[in-house]
Amino acid sequence: MHDYTILAAIPVFNEVDAGNIIQRVKKFPLDVLVIDDGSASNLHEKLMHIPHVHVITHPGNLGYGKTIIDAFLFSREYGYDYLLTIDSDGQHEPEEIPLFLKEIPVNDYDIISGSRYFLTGTVNKTVPHERYRINQEITGIINRITGFGLTDSFCGFKTYKVEKLKLMHLTEYGYGMPMQFWIQAWKLGLRVKEIPVKLLYKNPAKQFQGVLKDPDVRLNYYKDIIERELIAPSPLARMN
């Protein structure tokens, strides 16, 4: 595995435990990139002073999708072989990173995607019902289109082959970016493997902001992205 360069990317937007997550990720043989999506000044200053970490700073809150797109671009620009993404809100355990590292080199797949619902019986009372319902409905739609057989289309704990990310043309800055990603991955013929990760909701009461706070609005937003991407030119055509 030491022959491969691996970047761990951590999006941050005012997560109070972000520093702890970053330090735990740094224990592994990875370069670390933090994408600060317009966090409050006190947290931003703390992020800037963590040693041996690359930091991209957004001038304001541009969106979760933009943080992941920036991670893709950074990994491509600096020639990494693999990119690992992990959230900073405590819903992913850095100690599970070895589950992804042991898959490297990834010979038969292009994306190793974590799933919180891979194992039967993992759903419990800590999972917000409307989030699980939307996840499963959107995951079903993605599967009917792509045949990927996913169990969790929203989990941000992933490893990607960077050479495949070079083929993508992602433009969705919001929380719906994964829907655009999955449709483009399907159009490009990318291969996907899911692995189980822990199901954690450290703050079940945490809610989306603005219009996305309404579950029906959020569901339709995700569906709209899928529909738009289905009729859009292929990613390769958009690169020309």
Question: Domain span at residue 162?
Answer: 6-239
In a domain, 190, yes or no: yes
On the question of pLDDT at 118 being above 60, the answer is: yes
In a domain, 1, yes or no: no
Average predicted confidence (pLDDT) for the chain: 92
* Residue 110, C-beta contacts closer than 8 angstroms, at least 6 positions apart: 160, 161, 164, 185, 190, 191, 192
Q: How far is residue 152's CA from residue 182's CA, in Å, rounded to a whole number?
A: 12
Average pLDDT over residues 185-214: 86
| Positive/negative CA dihedral, 54, 191, 118, 203 | positive
On the question of pLDDT at 202 being above 80, the answer is: no
Average pLDDT over residues 94-105: 96
Structural domains counted in the chain:
1
Q: For residue 102, give the H/E element and its range.
A: none
pLDDT digits (tens, 9 = 90+) for 39-52: 998 898 999 999 99
Specify the range with the lowest mean pLDDT, choosing from 74-78, 86-90, 147-151.
86-90
On the question of pLDDT at 1 being above 50, the answer is: no
CATH number of the domain where residue 220 is located = 3.90.550.10
Q: Are strands 111-115 and 158-161 parallel, antiparallel or unpaired?
A: antiparallel
Per-residue pLDDT, 240: 61
Average pLDDT over residues 222-231: 97
Per-residue pLDDT, 90: 84
In a domain, 84, yes or no: yes
Collapsing DSSP to helix, strand or coil, 67 comes out as: helix
On the question of pLDDT at 22 being above 90, the answer is: yes
